[in-house]
Amino acid sequence: MYYNTSDQERINLGFGGHECNNGMHFCGLYETEYERDEIIIGYLRQGLIDKAHVLYTPTERTSEDFIKMFGVKYPEENELLDENPLFTMNTAEDLYYQNGEFSPMRMNVNLNNFFIDSQKTRQNKYPDYCRDGLGD
């Protein structure tokens, strides 16, 4: 199903046959680990297939468990994670915490930097301030 969410390029979300436009923020609700993996692993896999920059911050599992489950679900595509410059996996501590305390400023800087970098090769229609450092 296609959800028209903006005038940006159309993307496949990688699960359930869903598509929307680039730049959409969505929340995937699930009841089981299987459903969680369908959404998260499917979404990340599709992004890597489409050569998008992908960021994953595991919170309910370890990085090793995610890599293992990706390989179980898509054994023929495990190389999508191997030393792929388009795939970034960070812990919440790396992204959001400074000296052991949550820092919304650190979170904003890190996520904005990732967003700016991820958009360099996209055919997007973001305003210049989104591409050029969020109005520094």
Those residues with Cβ within 8 angstroms of residue 56's Cβ, 6 or more apart along the chain or in another chain: 40, 44, 66, 87, 88, 89, 90
pTM for this prediction? 0.78
CB 123 within 8 A of CB 9: yes
Tens-digit pLDDT profile for residues 117-126: 877 766 655 5
Total domain count for the chain?
Answer: 1
pLDDT score of 45:
96
Is residue 73 in a domain?
yes
Residue pair 82/47 in contact by the 8 Å Cβ criterion: no
Q: Does residue 99 belong to any structural domain of this protein?
A: yes
Q: Express each pLDDT in 5-44 by its tens digit.
A: 888 889 999 999 999 887 777 788 899 999 999 999 999 9
Query: Residue 90 sits in which domain range?
Result: 10-131
Residue 109 belongs to a domain: yes
43 part of a folded domain: yes
Average pLDDT over residues 50-68: 90
pLDDT in tens, 77-105: 989 999 999 999 988 888 888 788 998 89
Assess whether pLDDT exceeds 50 at residue 136.
no
Does residue 65 or residue 128 have the better pLDDT?
65
